[in-house]
Structure 1
Amino acid sequence: MSAPLAAAPARRGIILAGGSGSRLFPLTLPFSKQLMPVYDKPMIYYPLSVLMLAGIREILVITTPHDRPLFERLLGDGSSYGIALSYATQDEPRGLADAYRIGADFVGTNPSCLILGDNLFYGAYLTDMLVNVSARTAGATIFGYHVVDPRSYGVVEIDGTGTKALSLEEKPEKPRSNLAIPGLYFYDGNAPAYAREITPSPRGEIEITDLNRRYLAEGTLHVEVLSRGTAWLDTGTHENLIEAADYIRAVQNRQGLKVACLEEIGLFRGWIDRETIAKNAKAYGKSSYGEYLRMIAAEGVR
């Protein structure tokens, strides 16, 4: 990690960690897929780490009524990492933009960031990009990621500058570009109000594409294309889950550094100290995560 960066504006974060995870059945019959392991950490650690790297400290986790106690047991109030966590429930999937109806009081009129609980991001320049985007006070920002076949994703078409959206399509048969839209969205303070105005789609959902199209129509939808050195991993299938675990294992074993260590990010941000990390390490016993925390407590951010 590089030296700590300047603090971002007061932006709220939302992790949408609901749904049934039916594509992972029977693994997810007893609990949320966002609690499934991705190598050595629960899946939700990865999107949570992205919000923390963006400088976001106030975060709402939206999950199912059944899974909420499990997330609360795992993450607590967030103070162990130097953040403040709140929880809300979604009794059934009603679309990604429904997060802004559920979290309207939490977000208020603050700028915000929504990330899906099953999306993983990792890359050398990711932190700098996140901080720069988080500092943008007006409009919305989505991301583009080059894929071979974008027909299974939302797709964004961009102009010659590479930063402004021209069109948005949802799982098009003939995509206008190869830029898929990952599950990471930054919005200004208008997002909750705009989400309330969205008419449910034919499948009965409050679509995130409709929210993004509102900003597109206003001319305030920005696009950041993720670089070739950035990995975006979706863990929605058994194959994807294995691929993500293999990727994290390879990176960590090669570097000796952990991806998405929440305590390390908290120290990097100056939100907690080494004493807090040493205390946290005791809870993990002789696990590799506990050993890593003890090293961080002794040596600091590597």
Structure 2
Amino acid sequence: MGRKTKVALTVGAAGVAAWAASKVVAKPIPREGKEALNFQKPVILAHRGGHSEAPENTQAAFSKAAELGVHGFAVDIRLTKDEEIIVFHDEFTDRTTDFSGRTAEYTLDELKKADAGYRFEDEAGDFPYRGTGEVILTLRELLESFPHMLIAINLKDSPDTYEGSLMPSKLWRLLDELGAWDRVAVTGPYDEQTDRFNLYAQNRVATGAGDNEVKKAYAAFTSKLGHLYSPRADLFRISEKLGVFPLGTESFIHFLKQLNVVVYFEDVHDKETFIKLLSIGASGFITDRPTLAMEIIQEHIGE
């Protein structure tokens, strides 16, 4: 046996020994359960109220979805010029209303004059909600209108922006004032942003994994070091795939569930994918099509 071979075997043996030792010593720390996510059956959250079926983020959309029996809503939030928190997806108003310009350029009173149903187009190509009185809602209004619903709140703004720098503290003050700690989950693409929110919340509110945390979890899962991973979030809201990497697998869901992490899938638009993800253990769905989702849940899970 040559010297290089002996060195390689020695290094390999040392690596195996270190891995085996870490399996004995390292103990992943599961998340403490959060009341907001404590459901016995898979849940349906209407994305922006179910924006394939009614104007997004409007009373019409939320009310229609609630009548279907959904468990809650997934919404994005923005700050107005006078620093009010509104339920609004896009940075620019002209994507959904008859206004133009950035959301942050308008006060709440000004935005309340916008036609929030202006851009919604039905399957026939008509605009049935134009001029029907749909207005932009504040997060306060949504929470007060649907006190028994789970609201997944997405922090869209980067922590490097002015609006993003203010949002964590403002959101916490609102939730604290309303006593809404146990009926919301605060999520977002930026882990730093949810971490900043949690400085105020002190783990009293369910939080979701950002993009980097999801990648970190998947890397740990696919390596031999999954036993070293301790999650920093209570909820993973993920697509079926992350680029070319499959997240919608029974083994990955099981990996997260063992750590008491809830898994909600978004961007699911067809019946076959819904059923597949249900069968492998998905805890819930964030969907643009709540009617279809509720039909599938009732058919395969029951009331």
Task: Specify the TM-score bucket, using the shorter chain as the normaliser.
Answer: under 0.3
TM-score (norm. length: structure 2): 0.27
Richer in strand (by share): 1
TM-score (norm. length: structure 1): 0.27
Richer in helix (by share): 2
